Amino acid sequence: MARVFSCAAGALALAAAMPAAAQDNVQLYGRLNVALEALHGGGSGDSVQRVSNNRSVLGFRGSEDLGGGWQALFQVEGTLAPDTGAGAIAARDTRVGIAGPWGTLFAGNWTLPYNSATSALDPFYPTTAGYMSLMGNGAGATESNTSNAYSFDRRQQNSVHYWTPQWQGWSLRVARGMAEERPASGAHPALTSAALLYDGGALYASLAQEEHHDYQGRGLSDRGSKLALAWRIDSATQLAVAVESLRYATATGDLRRRTAYVSATRQFGRHGLRFGLAHAQSATGSALETIGTVRAGSGTGATHATIGYDYQLSKRSSLYAYYTRLANGHNGIAGFAINSLGRDGETKGATLSGVALGIKHNF
């Protein structure tokens, strides 16, 4: 894998040096996704009625035919907040690279293979009810090696990616978050992420692993491992399951947590039913630190369940509603990973719940 990344700069330079050709396939695209939410914070005492932005996006992407089966690729994707008008032009999946018979190689600010291997299996991703509350230990919308030292559900700045071509349903994706940050501790934090994928139509499977080097300190590495399966029973029904193991190495010892997730979706014409359930066991290990919302001890687990309904207005627009409930153990501090209540992690054993009514439009 190291050899792949050592060649990245040269391959990208080669793409830039190839003869210019006509630009084609430039596309403007986006997603507007907002919801009216009524949430209750349980033990924290926080209750709120609000309009929430569920990661709306605006971007453009395209390619240039270089001949011989090669293409130059680009994408610039930004955040967009219909509820407040805020946004940033390139804060989401943004890249430049090359694609050809041997695969796709690119660099930029991009979602890591470990994240994308299972995110599509959560019918509530990315909303307040998303499984990132427990799976991956929180959500990192756009992170460097030092801005977020705990989440395994992340988009990584300064990253280089290689995707193999698909062969009989199989493909491999690897990424490296370059060691550009230099914290005062003397550590050299970097990230490696990989996912082996199989998509056979009726069956989808993924095996993913991600390592964070020097995130908790010099010479300490964290690891996430994840296995997922999805069955497309027919064109309208899907069942999925994912299991994850996280291990953090800290100055006082190891910290480990296992999480399982199951989901089910069923479409009846324009009507859709959605269900998701995540359960995190109590974390174990000798570590005294709390990493994200993971801490060792009895009663530190949590369960997050959501049931929802979608109504398709068209191929691009839909209305949706859901009820979600996140119940912590008596020492658990998990909260909603997106659109949090602000003080979710301050109250041990809190139960968070709420309802949402939203609208989504893709273009």
Phi and psi dihedrals of 277, rounded to 5? -140, 120
Torsion 134-329-347-288 (CA) sign: negative
Whether the per-residue pLDDT at 263 is higher than 80: the answer is: yes
Please check whether residue 35 is in contact with residue 52, taking contact to mean a CB–CB distance below 8 angstroms: yes
pLDDT band at 106 (very low <50, low <70, confident <90, very high): very high
pLDDT band at 20 (very low <50, low <70, confident <90, very high): very low
* pLDDT, mean of residues 236-241: 98
CA–CA distance from 317 to each of 14, 221, 358 (Å)?
41, 43, 11
> CA-CA distance, 18 to 65, in Å (whole number)?
10
DSSP conformation class of 121: G
Which residue has tokens 């011989």? 68
Question: What pLDDT score does 17 carry?
Answer: 43
Question: What pLDDT score does 314 carry?
Answer: 97
> CA-CA distance, 10 to 3, in Å (whole number)?
12
All structural domains of the chain with their residue ranges: 30-56+101-362
Q: Which residues pair with 230 in a beta bridge?
A: 204, 240
Lowest mean pLDDT among 151-155, 243-247, 343-347: 343-347
Lowest mean pLDDT among 8-17, 108-117, 133-142: 8-17
E-strand spans in 167-202? 170-177, 190-199
> CA-CA distance, 334 to 336, in Å (whole number)?
7
pLDDT in tens, 265-283: 999 999 999 999 999 999 9
Whether the per-residue pLDDT at 14 is higher than 80: the answer is: no
Whether the per-residue pLDDT at 200 is higher than 60: the answer is: yes
> CA-CA distance, 104 to 239, in Å (whole number)?
30
> CA-CA distance, 252 to 345, in Å (whole number)?
22
Give 9: exposed, middle or buried? Use CB within 10 Å, 0-12, 13-18, 19+: exposed
DSSP conformation class of 20: P
- Model-wide pTM > 0.85: yes
Chain mean position to CA 244: 14
> CA-CA distance, 198 to 200, in Å (whole number)?
6
CATH of domain 30-56+101-362: 2.40.160.10
